Amino acid sequence: MADIDVEDENILTAIFKDSFPESWQENPDFVQYLVELSSYGADRLSREPDRLGEEKAQILAETQDLAFHNYTTFIQTADCSKEIFQDFQIIEQHLEDLLQKLPRFSDECSKVIKKAQEISSSRRMNTLTLQRHTQLLEVLEMPQLMDTCVRNGYYEEALELAAHVKRLEKKHPNIPVITSIVKEVKASSQLMLNQLIQQLRANLQLPACLRTIGFLRRMDVFTEAELRIKFLQARDSWFQSILDTIPKGDPYTHINKTIEASRVHLFDIMTQFRAIFSDEDPLVSTGKEDTVHEALLFHSWVLQKISQFLVTLENDLEEGIGGRLDSILGQCMYFGLSFSRVGADFRGLLAPIFERAALKYFSAALKEANKKFEENMQSYNLLGLTSTGGLPYGMGSSQSGQLFPPTTLLDFYPLAAFCNHVLSAFNDLRLCAPLNLACKIAEELNKSLMEVNRVILSFHRAEETTFNPKERDQFEQFSATYATDLLPYLNKCLQALFPPTQLATALGITVTEMNKKGNVGVLDLTAILSKVSHLMPAAPPQPVAEPPAQTSSHVTFTLGADAEETQDVSPRTEPVTDQSLLSSDLNSHQNSDTLPPLDLIDLNEAALTNHQVDSLPTVPDPSLLPPFASDEVDPEATLPVPFNLIPEATQTPIAVIQANDIQPNSTNPVPEPISSSTIAEPISEPLQSPFAVAEQVDFPTSAPEQGGWDTQGIDLDNLDNMTLEESDPGIDLDLLPAAP
C-alpha cells in the first residue's frame, strides 16, 4: 500500500469501495496482489481466474497428500497436548490448596508460640502472687470497702479511697487485677454520684446543699457548667414533684397553692444557687465564651420557671376561678416582688394575662346576661307588671358615694334581671379592672346592649300586631325606661370602674380632650339608641321656654302616708331623651379612693313573670331605698344655678317619669357635660401594680341609713372649684334646673 500513490489509492478505494471486507483490506498480501492486478493488461486479466483456479486445485491436492501420509503424527501430537494440559490443571489445583493452608499453618504456629508465652507468664505471676499475698489481699478488698463507705454515707472516706485507686491505676494501668478493682470502684463511685444527686432532689437546706455540691466537685465528674446544670435539674425535679402533688380539681386552689409553692421554693433554690456558686460570672463578656454561657445558665433556668408559671397561671385562669381574680393578682404581685430582689421581676408579664382573664370573665357574664334576657323576654307579659307604688324615679340613685340601680327597673323584670347580671359582672370586674381594658370593656358592653336591642326589636316585631293600647303604652314605657334609666346607669357604673380622670391621666391628656376624641371608656349611647329610637313614645309639641322662665322655675313635691307621691312642676321641663345627653361623666361617685360595690335590684328572690305578679308586693322593701330628698330639703326652695348642668338619668330625680313624659328636647341646645375633674377628688396614692388598675368599687347590699340631701352650707356660686369629701352631703343635681 505504501508503493501506491495517493491518487492511485483514492481510485482503488472509489472502485472497490464495498467489494471486499475490511479484514482483506488490512492484509498486505491482498493489497500487493491488488496492485499487481491493476498493472496487468486485459489479456492477462482474462487469464488470471483460470490460473488462480489451477493453483488452488494444486494446493488442495498437496494438502490431502500430506494428511494421508502423516496422519499418525498428527494424532500423537493431539494426544500429547491433551495430557500436558490436564497435568497443568492438576498442578494449579494443588498450588491453590497449598496457598490456602499456609496462612492457617502460620496462625497455628503463632498460637502455639503465644500459648507458650502465656503459660510462662502465668507461672511467673503465680510465683510472684504467692510471695506478696498479704499486700494483694489489701488491694483486693478495696472495692468492698468502697461499697461499704458509700452505702453508709461515709462520702469523705469513699472519696479518699477512690483517689487512692486512681493513683494505682495510673501507676499500674496494665495489671488486670488493678483494672478490675478500678472498674468496681468506679461502679461504687457511680452509686455515690446517684445518691448525691438524689439528695439534691429532696427537700434540702442550704448547709446540706453546700456539703453535697462539695462532694460532687471533689468527684471531678462534671465541669463547672455541667455541675450547675445538674444542680438546677435536680432541684427543678424536686420542685416539679411539689407542684405535681397539688390537686387540680379546683383551679383557684391549684393556682393559689402553685403561687405559694413557687414563691417559697423557687426563692430558696435561687438563694442556694447564689450561695453555692458564689463565683457567679458577670453577664458581660470577658473574652471567654464558656464564661458567658455559664453565667447565662441560671438566668435561663429562672426564665424557664417563670414561663412555666405564667403558662400554669393562664391555664387555670382559662378554666375559671370565679370572682377571686383580685386575690390571685395580689399573690402574683407579691410573688413578682419577691423575685425582684434577685433581679427577676416578672410583674410586667402578668398584665396581659390578667387583662385577658378579666375580659373573658366579663364577656362570659355578658353572654349569660343576654341569654337570660332573651329567655325572660320570651315569657314576658306586658300586662303582668309590678308597680313600684309611685316611688320616685331614680330613687335608687347614688347617695353617699354609692351607685344604686333605678327602682323604675322593677316595673320591667327583664330589664331588672339584665341589670342585675351586668352589675354582677361589674362587681367581679371591679376587683381587677386594668385601665387598658376600659375601651374593650366598653366595646363588650356595647355589643351586649346591641344584642339587647335585637331581642327588644324581635319582641316588638312578634307582638306588635297583637298590642292593645295599654300594652302599647307599657311597651313604650319599657323602651323609655331602657333608654333613660338602664343605659345611663350602666354608663355611670362603667365610669365608676374606669374614671375619666384616671383614663385621661394615663393617656397624658385632659378629660376635655379625651371627651373630644370620642367614646373612650364609655358607652356609645348614640349608636345603641339609634336601633330602638323608633320605639320611644312620641312627645307632644313643647313651647320654647324662655331662659328667665327656666331660672325661676322651681320643683315642689309631697309624699303622702300611703307612699304615693304627688308633684307640682311649674313650669316643667320635659326629660331630655337626646341620645347625646345620655353619655355624661360620673360627677358624684368619685369623691373617694374606693367606690362601693354595685347594689343589685331586689327581685324578691323570684322571677318576675306574668305568673308571679300577684305574689309580689307593689312597693319594694323600704329598707333597700334611700330616704327621700324631701325629708331635709325645702320643697318650695328655688336653687339658682350659675352654669348649665345636664340632669343625669341615674341620679335621684324627684318625680316618677311616666311614658308620656319622655319627649325629645329639640329646642334647647345641648350643654357640655360637666367634667368629672370638677367634682371628683383626685387619687393621690400611687397604684401598687405594674399596670394601672381602675379604682375599685365596693358596693354594700343595703341602702345607707343617713338622711336626705342637705344643700345648706354649699356655695352654689363656686361649684366649679368645689370638691366633696366622703363625709360631705351629696347634691342631687336633678334638683337644679338648667340655667340660661
In this predicted structure, what is the pLDDT of residue 539?
60
Q: Are 706 and 615 a contacting pair, CB within 8 Å?
A: no
In DSSP notation, 699-721 reads --SS---S-S---TT--GGGGGG
Q: Is the pLDDT of residue 587 over 50?
A: no
**Residue 542's pLDDT band (cuts 50, 70, 90):** low
The span from the CA of 499 to the CA of 505, in Å, is 10
The span from the CA of 247 to the CA of 238, in Å, is 17
**Residue 298's pLDDT band (cuts 50, 70, 90):** confident
More confident position, 385 or 467 = 467
- pLDDT tens-digit series, residues 458-497: 999 998 888 888 988 899 999 999 999 999 999 999 999 9
- Long-range contacts for 295-298 (Cβ within 8 Å, ≥24 apart)? 297/225, 297/228, 297/229, 297/232, 298/228, 298/232, 298/270, 298/273
Q: Are 437 and 355 a contacting pair, CB within 8 Å?
A: yes
Least trusted range by pLDDT, from 198-202, 245-249, 508-512, 568-572: 568-572
In this predicted structure, what is the pLDDT of residue 537?
78
The span from the CA of 154 to the CA of 149, in Å, is 5
- pLDDT tens-digit series, residues 607-623: 333 333 333 232 333 33
The span from the CA of 428 to the CA of 466, in Å, is 41
- pLDDT tens-digit series, residues 416-469: 999 999 999 998 888 888 888 899 999 999 999 999 999 999 999 998 888 888
In this predicted structure, what is the pLDDT of residue 738?
38
**Residue 16's pLDDT band (cuts 50, 70, 90):** low
CA 371: distance to chain centroid? 29
In this predicted structure, what is the pLDDT of residue 294?
64
**Residue 279's pLDDT band (cuts 50, 70, 90):** low
**Residue 597's pLDDT band (cuts 50, 70, 90):** low
Least trusted range by pLDDT, from 75-89, 219-233, 484-498, 525-539: 525-539
In this predicted structure, what is the pLDDT of residue 644?
27
In this predicted structure, what is the pLDDT of residue 23?
72
Question: In sequence order, which residues have a C-beta less than 8 Å from that of residue 349 and are 6 or more positions away?
Answer: 306, 310
DSSP code at position 663: B
**Residue 668's pLDDT band (cuts 50, 70, 90):** very low
Quote the cell numbers at residue 713: 352650707
Q: Is the pLDDT of residue 405 over 60?
A: yes
Question: In sequence order, which residues have a C-beta less than 8 Å from that of residue 361 and are 6 or more positions away?
Answer: 320, 325, 425, 428, 429
**Residue 7's pLDDT band (cuts 50, 70, 90):** low
- pLDDT tens-digit series, residues 313-342: 999 998 888 778 888 999 999 999 998 888
Q: Is the pLDDT of residue 109 over 50?
A: yes
Q: What is the radius of gyration, based on Cα positions, of the chain?
A: 54
Tell me the mean pLDDT in the region 83-93. Answer: 90
Among 522, 513, 470, 452, which Cα is nearest to 491's?
522
CA 414: distance to chain centroid? 37
DSSP code at position 330: H
In this predicted structure, what is the pLDDT of residue 375?
93
Average pLDDT of the chain is 72
For cell 335608687, name the residue. Answer: 396
In this predicted structure, what is the pLDDT of residue 173?
85
Surface-to-core class of residue 68, CB atoms within 10 Å of its CB (0-12 exposed, 13-18 middle, 19+ buried): exposed
Q: Is the pLDDT of residue 736 over 60?
A: no
Half-sphere exposure of 268 (CA within 13 A, CB side): 18
Q: What is the pTM of this model?
A: 0.55
Tell me the mean pLDDT in the region 287-302. Answer: 69
- pLDDT tens-digit series, residues 127-163: 888 888 888 788 888 899 999 999 998 999 999 999 9
**Residue 12's pLDDT band (cuts 50, 70, 90):** low
The span from the CA of 523 to the CA of 505, in Å, is 20
The span from the CA of 500 to the CA of 512, in Å, is 10
Tell me the mean pLDDT in the region 581-585. Answer: 32
In this predicted structure, what is the pLDDT of residue 280?
52
**Residue 531's pLDDT band (cuts 50, 70, 90):** confident
